[in-house]
Amino acid sequence: MKIAIFGASGFAREVRDIAYVLGYKNIVFIDKKTERSIDGFPIVSEKKVNSLAEKDYHFIIGIGNPEIRKEIKARYHDLKYINLVHPSATFGFRQLAELEKRVGNVICAGTRMTSNIRLGNFGVYYLNCTIPHDCVIEDFVTISSGVNISGNVKISTGAYIGTNACILQGKSLTDKLVVGRNTIVGAGSVVTKSVPENTIVKGIPAR
């Protein structure tokens, strides 16, 4: 199997690791700097994207920044994007089937998703994060390592949740705690109430 990974940084290497475990052996990175390889895997220019697509490569975006993922998807919207799910990630009833309706998601080792979760596209779920019941995760969201999200929470498009942050529970299915679009939650923060879009919050409680 063949896969091309946008990016060549540390997270892109972690994405490579997931792809390799899943059986991809023909792996290339796509980056502006192409004069080197990573662990023997070549780095190619974005100029080669169409050529890779013609050769039936799968594609994934190995970049943690939601805005950059949006930009790449906008430039290359017709590629064969897939989900990459580490074998140690675990899912509640029908959640894997829900994920399979989406594209572009990276699910890292130790991720746990429970029940009745609505997922978006092009999300990043780092190591050992937890997504429980009745959450909504929209497109281009980044959930960093060790994040714990409680039930009845909505993470809106483009939000970035920092390492080890905690999002407390929403009131009900129809009255969720909402993290707004393009909002950044700082590492280690505890979010106790809804957060507006396009803001940065941090601390305990986050403000």
Known binding residues for substrate: 64
Buried b (16+ CB within 10 A) or exposed e, 32-57: eebeeebeebebbeeebbeebbeeeb
Do 64 and 147 meet the contact criterion of CB atoms below 8 Å apart?
Answer: no
Q: Is 15 left (phi over 0), alpha (psi -120 to 50) or beta?
A: alpha
Distance between CA atoms of residues 168 and 147, nearest Å: 11
- Give the residue ranges of the annotated binding site: 64
Whether residue 133 lies in the annotated active site = yes
> Which of 58, 77, 86, 133 is labelled catalytic?
133
Distance between CA atoms of residues 82 and 102, nearest Å: 8
- Give the residue numbers annotated as catalytic, written as ranges: 133
